[in-house]
Structure 1
Amino acid sequence: MSNTERQPEELDLNQKGEVNVICEGGADVEIITSREVPLGGPRAMMVRRTLPQRQRSLIGAWCFVDHYGPDDVSLSGGMDVAPHPHTGLQTVTWLFKGRVDHHDSGNIHAQVLPGEVNLMTAGAGICHSEVSTPETTVLHGAQLWTVLPEDARQGPRRFDHFAPHPHKFEGGQALVFLGKLLGQSSPVKTFTPLLGAELRLDPSAVLELEVNPTFEHGLLVDSGDIDLEGVKVNPTELAYTGTGETLLRIRNHGDTPALMLLIGGTPFEEDVVIWWNFIGRNHEEISRYRKEWEEHGERFGVTEGYVGKTPDGLHRLPAPALPNAAIKPRRNPAPQARPEERI
Structure 2
Amino acid sequence: MSDLEPRPEESLCESSGRPGPRAEFFPAREVPLGGVRGVTVFRSLPQRDLPTVGAWCFLDLFGSGSETNPEGHDIDPHPHIGLQTVTWPLDGRIRHRDGVGSDVEIAPGQLNIMTSGHGIAHSEYRVPGHVSGHGLQLWVALPGESRDIAPHFEQHRELPTFSINDLPDAQVRAEVRGTVLIGSLGGVTSPAIAYTPIVGADLRVEAGANAELPLNPAFEHAILVIEGALTVDGIPVEPGNLFYLGSDRESIRLHDTAGAHLLLLGGEPFGEDLVMWWNFVARSHEEIEQARNDWEKQDVGRFAEIAGHTPEQRIPAPPLPGLHLKPRKRRCGVPHE
Identity fraction in percent: 42
Structure 2 residue 164 is matched with structure 1 residue 169: yes
Q: Distance in 2 between matches of 1:296 and 1:223?
A: 42
Q: Distance in 2 between matches of 1:145 and 1:65?
A: 7
Q: Distance in 2 between matches of 1:122 and 1:86?
A: 6
For structure 1, which runs of at least 5 residues remain unmatched after alignment?
A: 12-25, 308-313
Count of residue pairs brought into register by the alignment:
315
After TM superposition, give the deviation of residue 50 of structure 1 in Å: 0.6
After TM superposition, give the deviation of residue 138 of structure 1 in Å: 5.6
Q: Once the two structures are superposed, what CA deviation does each residue of 1:257-285 show, in whole Å capped at 9, x if it has no partner?
A: 31111110000011100000011111111
Q: How does 1:28-47 map to 2 (within 5 A)?
A: 28-39=22-33, 41-47=35-41
Aligned partner of 2:208 among 195, 204, 207: 204
Q: How does 1:32-71 map to 2 (within 5 A)?
A: 32-39=26-33, 41-69=35-63
Indicate the SS of the match to 1:197: strand
Q: Distance in 1 between matches of 2:230 and 2:51?
A: 24
After TM superposition, give the deviation of residue 290 of structure 1 in Å: 0.6
- The structure-2 alpha-carbon separation of the partners of 1:222 and 1:38, relative to structure 1 and needing over 3 Å to count, comes to same
> 1:6 — aligned with what?
6
After TM superposition, give the deviation of residue 218 of structure 1 in Å: 1.1
Q: Distance in 1 between matches of 2:68 and 2:24?
A: 36
After TM superposition, give the deviation of residue 142 of structure 1 in Å: 0.1
After TM superposition, give the deviation of residue 73 of structure 1 in Å: 8.8
After TM superposition, give the deviation of residue 169 of structure 1 in Å: 3.1
The one-letter code sitting in structure 2 at the alignment partner of 1:67 is L
> 2:323 — aligned with what?
325
Q: Once the two structures are superposed, what CA deviation does each residue of 1:85-107 show, in whole Å capped at 9, x if it has no partner?
A: 00000000001111100000011
Aligned partner of 2:249 among 242, 245, 248: 245
> 1:233 — aligned with what?
237
- More moved, 212-221 vs 132-141: 132-141
Indicate the SS of the match to 2:200: strand
Structure 2 residue 98 is matched with structure 1 residue 94: no
> 2:334 — aligned with what?
339
- The structure-2 alpha-carbon separation of the partners of 1:130 and 1:222, relative to structure 1 and needing over 3 Å to count, comes to same
Indicate the SS of the match to 1:30: strand
Q: Distance in 2 between matches of 1:250 and 1:71?
A: 32
Q: Once the two structures are superposed, what CA deviation does each residue of 1:2-21 show, in whole Å capped at 9, x if it has no partner?
A: 1111221178xxxxxxxxxx
Q: How does 1:75-154 map to 2 (within 5 A)?
A: 75-137=69-131, 139-154=133-148
Backbone CA RMSD of aligned residues: 2.2
- More moved, 159-168 vs 145-154: 159-168
Indicate the SS of the match to 2:36: coil
Q: Is the 8 A contact 2:38 2:65 kept in 1?
A: no
- The structure-2 alpha-carbon separation of the partners of 1:10 and 1:299, relative to structure 1 and needing over 3 Å to count, comes to closer
Q: Is the 8 A contact 1:73 1:139 kept in 2?
A: no
Q: Is the 8 A contact 1:178 1:197 kept in 2?
A: yes
Q: Is the 8 A contact 2:164 2:213 kept in 1?
A: no
Question: Could you tell me the TM-score, scaled by structure 2's length?
Answer: 0.88
- The structure-2 alpha-carbon separation of the partners of 1:302 and 1:38, relative to structure 1 and needing over 3 Å to count, comes to farther
For structure 2, which runs of at least 5 residues remain unmatched after alignment?
A: 12-19, 166-174
The one-letter code sitting in structure 2 at the alignment partner of 1:131 is Y
Q: Is the 8 A contact 1:147 1:279 kept in 2?
A: yes
Q: Once the two structures are superposed, what CA deviation does each residue of 1:146-186 show, in whole Å capped at 9, x if it has no partner?
A: 00011000100111222214323331311111111111111
Q: Distance in 2 between matches of 1:72 and 1:321?
A: 27
> 1:156 — aligned with what?
150
- The structure-2 alpha-carbon separation of the partners of 1:102 and 1:206, relative to structure 1 and needing over 3 Å to count, comes to same
Q: Distance in 2 between matches of 1:165 and 1:72?
A: 34
> 1:188 — aligned with what?
192
Structure 2 residue 276 is matched with structure 1 residue 274: yes
